[in-house]
């Protein structure tokens, strides 16, 4: 639920970040290796200079940790945000507090050369405190799938894995390229993304979320596209919108099987189209909500669920 809030606050500041993106254009160019070292412009528009590829890194965001491992640079991590839990070997890395609980002292004590963090994670004071200890701060802030490539590129640059980063981006792009709408009978079908079970209030993923973007790509319409970001909606709205597909991410509330069982047994849900047609997909919340490398596979799996087959090359 912390994430929901974070996401909302991110969206509230979408204007500010859109402004900052103008600084990201540099990210597309070839890596600049001047005599001074590696120059990187991060996603908050700040330029940092590293003498050499960083080999002591603290990363606070789960997606950034996943990117590091995907670039085969997981061994550079000396600290991770407490919610970074993928891949499994990351659990051996020392956890530090992140988000609103960020503890600067904890980070400095690990003596990293570089801290990678999300845009909304920390206050400016905390960032300044880290910088004044001689530690570089790299900020990532993907709002759309396209932005994930920028994050991968700058993280790749920071650890000197430019080729690996390029390869990973290419792989992800080619996966996403395969995901195209298939024209079917009738109009556009709708999908409902549930991110919190009924018991705690129904939270849905609306517009400006990765799930919404994946639905769009697949040719579906988000049933709650009028909600921005993640929001709590009334149960009766789900009944009224009667979506063609239900996609639920159990977070860590329950196993996938239990979640489905609970969902179809809710009072009145048996009358929903998606429940009658068994068009329910319970999936790994982290893969589809984190702006990391796994989102490509999550999108592919979503496509297979909708069309009953793998996307064609």
Partner 1 sequence: MIKNNRDSFSKTEYLLFAVVAVAVFLLCISVGSVNIPLRETLSVILRAVFNMPAEESLSDSVILFVRLPRVICVALEGASLALCGAAMQGLLQNPLADGTTIGVSSGAALGAVLAIAIGANTSILSGISTVAMAMTFAFLSLILILTLAYKLDFSLSTYTIILMGVIFSMFSNSIVSFITTFAGEKVKTIVFWTMGSMAGSSYGNALLLFGALLLFGTVILAHARELNAFAIGENNARHIGVNVKRVKFMILIAVAGLIGVSVSVAGTIGFVGLVIPHITRMLVGPNHKKLLPAALFLGAIFLMLADLISRVALSPLELPIGVITSFVGSIVFVYIFYFKRKGR
The reply to whether 233 sits near partner 1 by the rule CB under 8 A is yes
Q: Return the residues of window 265-304 that contact partner 1 according to CB under 8 A.
A: 267-269, 271
Nearer to partner 1 by C-beta: 1 or 25? Answer: 1
Q: Given the complex with partner 1, which of 89 and 261 has the nearer CB atom? A: 261
Distance CA 313, CA 311 (A): 7
Stretch that binds partner 1, among 7-15, 34-42, 68-76, 225-233 (CB under 8 A): 225-233
DSSP 142-207: --SHHHHHHHHHHHHHHTT-HHHHHHHHHHHHHHHHH------SSS--EEEEEEE-GGG--EEE-B
Interaction of residue 9 with partner 1, rule CB under 8 A: no
Tokens in use for 72?
């085969």
Q: What is the largest CA-CA distance in the chain?
A: 67
Q: The tokens 């009072």 sit on which residue?
A: 267
Binding mask 68-97 toward partner 1 (x if CB under 8 A, else -) reads --------------xx--------------
The answer to whether residue 106 forms part of the interface with partner 1 (CB under 8 A) is: no
Q: How far apart are CA 304 and CA 306, in angstroms?
A: 5
| Of 9, 36, 174, 232, the one binding partner 1 by CB under 8 A | 232
The 236-255 contact track toward partner 1, x by CB under 8 A, reads: xx-xx-x--------xxxxx
Q: Would you say 74 or 206 has its CB closer to partner 1?
A: 206
1 binds partner 1 (CB under 8 A): yes
CB burial of 107-135 (b: ≥16 within 10 Å; e: otherwise) equals: bbebebbbbbbbbbbbeeebbebbeeeeb
The smaller minimum CB distance to partner 1, of residues 111 and 255, is found at 255
| Cα dist from 279 to 66, 104, 243, 284, 306, whole Å | 30, 46, 10, 17, 8
Residue numbers at the binding site for partner 1 (CB under 8 A): 1-3, 82-83, 196-202, 224, 226-227, 231-237, 239-240, 242, 251-255, 258-259, 261-262, 267-269, 271
């Amino acid at each position: 639920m912390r994430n929901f809030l974070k996401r909302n606050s991110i969206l509230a500041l979408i204007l500010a970040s859109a402004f900052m993106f103008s600084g990201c254009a540099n990210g597309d160019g070839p890596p600049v290796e001047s005599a001074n070292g590696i120059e990187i412009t991060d996603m908050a528009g700040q330029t940092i200079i590293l003498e050499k590829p960083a080999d002591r890194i603290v990363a606070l965001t789960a997606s950034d940790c996943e990117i590091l491992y995907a670039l085969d640079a997981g061994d550079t991590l000396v600290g991770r945000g407490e919610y970074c839990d993928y891949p499994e070997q990351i659990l051996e890395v020392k956890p530090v507090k992140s988000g609103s609980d960020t503890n600067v002292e904890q980070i400095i004590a690990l003596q990293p050369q570089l801290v990678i963090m999300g845009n909304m994670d920390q206050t400016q004071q905390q960032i300044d405190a880290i910088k004044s200890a001689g530690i570089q701060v790299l900020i990532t802030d993907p709002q759309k799938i396209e932005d994930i490539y920028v994050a991968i590129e700058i993280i790749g640059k920071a650890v000197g894995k430019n080729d690996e980063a390029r390869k990973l981006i290419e792989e992800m792009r080619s996966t996403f390229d395969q995901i195209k709408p298939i024209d079917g009978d009738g109009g556009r079908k709708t999908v409902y993304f549930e991110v919190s079970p009924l018991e705690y209030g129904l939270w849905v993923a609306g517009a400006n979320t990765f799930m919404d973007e994946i639905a769009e790509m697949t040719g579906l319409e988000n049933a709650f596209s009028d909600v921005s970001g993640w929001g709590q909606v009334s149960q009766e709205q789900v009944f009224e919108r009667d979506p063609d597909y239900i996609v639920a991410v159990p977070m860590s509330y329950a196993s996938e099987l239990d979640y489905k069982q609970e969902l179809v047994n809710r009072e009145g849900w048996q009358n929903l189209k998606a429940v009658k047609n068994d068009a329910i997909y319970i999936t790994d919340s982290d893969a589809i909500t984190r702006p990391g490398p796994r989102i490509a596979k999550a999108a592919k799996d979503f496509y297979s669920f909708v069309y009953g087959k793998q996307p064609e090359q």
